[in-house]
Amino acid sequence: MVTIRLTRRGAKNSPFYHVVVTDSRKRQGGLSLENVGFFNPVARKSEPRLKLDLARIEHWLSKGAQQSDRVKSLVSDYRKQAAQASA
């Protein structure tokens, strides 16, 4: 099964996550099929906190990929931000 999930990068006490599309049988930091965004929970003022490629996420979801719970909430938040920015 194909999964859209977070993979942790960054230094100790400074987490940074990539949103990746990967085979669910692969380990968490292993080879991924595609990188579709990032999440920086400790972003400073000028740094972006979240950036996602919604078109590619929708593509993978249409192919049957499943989202992790955290990615599902991040995508929902990102869509709300995009709607507010365009309004």
For each of the domains in the chain, give its residue range(s) and CATH number, in order of start: 2-86 (3.30.1320.10)
* φ, ψ of residue 71 in degrees (nearest 5): -65, -40
**Burial letters for 32-41: b for 16+ Cβ neighbours within 10 Å, e otherwise?**
beeebbbbbe
Strands (E), the chain: 2-11, 14-23, 34-39, 50-52, 66-67
* pLDDT tens digit sequence for 2-26: 999 999 988 899 999 999 999 888 8
* pLDDT tens digit sequence for 21-80: 998 888 777 788 999 999 999 988 899 999 999 999 999 999 999 999 999 999 999 999
Does the pTM of the predicted model rise above 0.85?
yes
